[in-house]
Amino acid sequence: MSQSNKNNFIKMDKMLAELPWYVEEYIDHKSRRLSSTSLLNYVHDLKIFFTWLNDELLQEHPKIIALENLEKLTIRQVESYLKFLVHQLGNKDVTVNRKLSSLKSLFNYLQNTAETEDLKPYIQRNVMAKIEFNDLKNDQETIANKMEGKILQGKEYSEFRLFIAHDYGELHKDNKKKYNFHVQNRERDTAIISLILGSGLRLSEIANLDITDIDFNKSTLRVIRKGNKEQYVYFSTQAMSDLQAYMALRETKYHVDKKNKALFISAAMGPRGTNRRLTPRAIEKLVEKYAMGFGKPALSVHKLRHSFATKYHLEVNDVPKLRKQLGHSSVQTTMIYTHLKDTDLKEAVEKMDIPEE
């Protein structure tokens, strides 16, 4: 188990200790299909709800909230909670929907999956089934306006990569510490950015990659997607070139123990000089650093993923292939995925390498 997963489970155990027993049972049920990050998000959302409900019921502790209390919840009370998320916590509609989705999932489990010893459901009445999600529909023009200026476009793809590989160091030549740090890590950092822009991988997927996950012959990466689903994702030729350049220097530059299979390594830290897998937060910070220097501070790992998707759609114009490449899943697109051919998907990704005129 990776250190990131261990940390997630430690945080979960701490929060679950403050929640009712049936929440822990529900999370245990979900654990067979979800990653530790997704489980942690569920627990976090449920803790917010039960803390609010505890205050609403004037009880001493969320842990003692009984199933009967959930069964007696009214629609007005649930709507009051959703207003609390908006007005007190400042949550946007999309965040409110996510937290409502967590509650719907819990209540569905209590009503339709869990059983008492006499084979009866934990709750008979499910108020969450009566609550609708916020309508998040936006027209394409609105979405485009929000995204404009926050992603890479046109020649910026190659320019941003070049900035990381070379120009950032030149920009900070007078700062010995920054310059030396960049020289030490430029191949690694270029490979990370190039891989996101050449595959559209998520932050967690990039951070969790092992060197054994790469197949240079097939231009594929083995990734564990949301829901612990294994998938082989294609990456571009430019990403391959940058990965190979980094891999050639990985052991000598970072003095990596051969037992350490993590693809992206941090510089040695601590008295023993231990190398560790680069954490998701560390990857976020390096993207933020380069984005600021490049003059597009709104760039993030997620925006780089958006950049890949935008360019892919403009050049390939095949939404089903794009959905599979990004690892998106929904009831509406499940059947589309089953008709995709891997050879077509590989050719689509390769088109990403056509140079800008």
| Residues marked as catalytic | 202, 226, 302, 305, 328, 337
Residue 234 has phi, psi (to 5 degrees) of: -80, 150
Whether the Cβ atoms of residue 33 and residue 227 lie closer than 8 Å to each other: yes
Residues 6+ apart with CB under 8 A from 35: 204, 224, 226, 227, 228
Q: What is the DSSP letter of 167?
A: I
Long-range contacts of 11-17 (CB under 8 A, 24+ apart): 11/40, 11/43, 12/36, 12/39, 12/40, 12/43, 15/43, 15/44, 15/47, 16/43, 17/63
Amino acid, res. 135: D
Whether the Cβ atoms of residue 165 and residue 124 lie closer than 8 Å to each other: no
Residues 6+ apart with CB under 8 A from 231: 222, 223, 224, 225, 327
Cβ neighbours of 52 (radius 10 Å): 18
Which tokens in the block code for residue 24?
A: 């822990």
